[in-house]
Structure 1
Amino acid sequence: ISIDWEDVAYIRTGRVMSVLLDGGEVILGRLTTESGKLLVGGEPVEFPQVVGIASASPREFDLWTADISVGLNFRSGNVEQKDLNTKVSLKRRTVKNNTKMSYTGNYSESESEQLANNHTASLSHDYRISHKWFFRPIQAEYYRDPFQNREAEWTVGFGAGYQIFDSPKLDWTVSAGPGYQRTEYVDVVEGEDRTVSTGAFLIGTFYDQDITDNIELEVDYQVTLTEAKAGRAKHDFYVALDVDLTSRLDLRLAGTWKRIESPQPDSDGITPEKDDFTATLGLALEI
């Protein structure tokens, strides 16, 4: 059952919750509200002091959520083609920490010839400092796309972020920080290094909004700035529109855009296209 926050008149939690207060103090207790005031374990707490609320359950399973989406396309007859698009997101949230892991894969084959085969795996961990600010001690990504002349690309970094909006229907954050990138090319022009290591600067934003009770919009964008020999700038943009079919199953229309400002030519002097676009229609399961 989903209830709009503005329609809630009274709260009583059935389990012990962990409450982070402004200043870093964490208190435990069941939550209740009386006459517009919050009580934690029977003790009054001012609403403006509350930075975050999460489950204090000792079960690790209660701290995790998962989102799995799959898109499939098969053609036969005059054209034999198959396409597979997969995205898996895992999130672990406590009152102070927020860990995200994701995997995205796209594979396409026609007449036994590969048309696409790219994979992206990412990890980030955020530590809440205050109502608006958080510290990101680790951010990492693995990327592989032979059609972009990327055999393997590793990016690691750290930084800080700011919560622009944090409401029941809108979540919007921005983050930035320095990093390091190591790129291994599939093939390069004679005399060029096949492996390039360089410093990087990462800038990203995440936007999640409930447009209606049944429709949700998610936007995730990150740009990685590096030296020209590593691509100069890599843009990763993801947008998804989810329509509720059941309480856990959504119909998802998603699109991705990847752009490398300075692609590395191969040994034949052929330079990959800067932009790659993907659009998928599939099902998403929330756990």
Structure 2
Amino acid sequence: MPIDNLSAQEKETLPAWEKPTPVFLQKHDWLKLKSDEWLKGDIISMYDDELEFDSDEFGLETFDWEDVSELRSRYDQNIRFANGEVVKGFLIVHSNEVTLISNGTERKFPLSELMSITSAADSRRELWDVEISLGLDISSGNVNQLDYLFSAVAQRSTPYTRFKTEATYNYSKQTINTNDQPIIDASRVTSSLDWFYNSQIFFRLFDYEYMSDFQQNIQARNSLGTSIGYHVVDNKRLQWDVTAGPSFQITSYEQSAAQADQKSAVLALSTLVEYTVSSRTDFIFDYSIQFVEEESGKRNSHLKTGFEFEFTDDFELDIMLYFDRVAHPVVSVDSVKPEPNDYQLYMSIGYNFY
């Protein structure tokens, strides 16, 4: 009999409707939002009350922690709490409580104490975020010229640390009468390891940079140092970090009156701004400056800024401006002094590995 045909008394005797409980397949992590929607996929990480979840249906998404109703993992997770304790186990978040199951033992913690979540399986690719980009420009006819930019970024995060390495190679040449004449030949590799002291302060345990630049008469420049960092802003839309610290630098020149390598103490400052313009557009401003001795350039600056446009879950279009400045370029043996400023604007296609 349709329920509309029942009397009020008969309707009161009907059992209350209960929401069905989903079947949790162990091949997925599961996320329930406050809207009662369930998503299956992979837990990437949770930092600063933001959860990164790679949904099978919607791709990589970031959720405010306050919008999460329930979370279940299929693998062990590393859980960091506000007191600094890190606990490993199968994770269930439900009813303002964190439950960890490890070796048949169940432990419960208040949700308010939860600080971060990362995978405990070191071999899982979700620990790494890797992007490779390539920009290419080929001219033929009156001018035969090849320009290309290759860049790669890899980052690995744990509850306490963040390792990041980035490499770029910029090359341009003209072919005249079958002879190749390099116009630009520059490369840069940076690598750093951050240790998070708390939600705002971090220590950059090491900060390494290698660069070479044919235009600037620099054969190789190696810098190694350490610094302290501060999260000025860190929310869903905007991340802004600043760092400052000492380092040491050795520079070899392509041609120079001084035969020996130039060595210098360094004061290094940097700032990194990442702003989410929309769900598929990000703005990046990455600037660093090194104060060195005059024989090593006096002030060495590097800027990378531009936009990343994501047009699929894995591919993106990058439009980046690169700016390098050596305040006091070293004159070559033939008395040619390089220009202090170099600019390159590149459009490239990037592929993301999660």
Q: Normalised by the size of structure 1, how large is the TM-score?
A: 0.92
Where relative contact order (Cα < 8 A, 6+ residues apart) is larger, the structure is 1
Superposed CA deviations along residues 236-287 of structure 1, whole A, max 9, x for unmatched, are: 1101311111101001111111111111111122211111111111101000
Q: Unpaired segments of 5 or more residues in structure 1?
A: none
Matches within 5 A, 1:130-145: 130-145=198-213
Distance change (3 Å), C-alpha of 1:38 and 1:131: farther
How many residues get paired?
283
Deviation of the 1:73 alpha carbon? 0.5
SS at match of 1:20: strand
Residue 239 of structure 2 corresponds to: 171
* Identity of matched residues, %: 24
**Letter of the aligned partner of 2:223 in structure 1?**
T
Residue 229 of structure 2 corresponds to: 161
Residue 205 of structure 1 corresponds to: 271
Deviation of the 1:52 alpha carbon? 2.7
Distance 2:62 2:166 in 1: 28
Residue 63 of structure 2 corresponds to: 5
For the pair 1:230 / 2:284, whether they are aligned, the reply is no
**Runs of 4+ with deviation above 3 angstroms:** 6-10, 29-35
Deviation of the 1:178 alpha carbon? 0.5
Residue 28 of structure 1 corresponds to: 88
For the pair 1:87 / 2:151, whether they are aligned, the reply is yes
Distance change (3 Å), C-alpha of 1:273 and 1:51: farther
For the pair 1:44 / 2:115, whether they are aligned, the reply is no
Residue 118 of structure 1 corresponds to: 186
Residue 221 of structure 1 corresponds to: 287
Distance 1:50 1:218 in 2: 29
Distance 2:62 2:205 in 1: 34
Distance 1:253 1:198 in 2: 34
Distance 1:185 1:199 in 2: 18
Greater Rg, structure 1 or structure 2? Answer: 2
* 244-253 vs 205-214, greater mean Cα deviation: 205-214
For the pair 1:109 / 2:170, whether they are aligned, the reply is no
Q: Calculate the aligned-residue CA RMSD, in Å.
A: 1.8
SS at match of 2:155: strand
* 179-188 vs 216-225, greater mean Cα deviation: 216-225
For the pair 1:16 / 2:71, whether they are aligned, the reply is no
SS at match of 1:148: coil
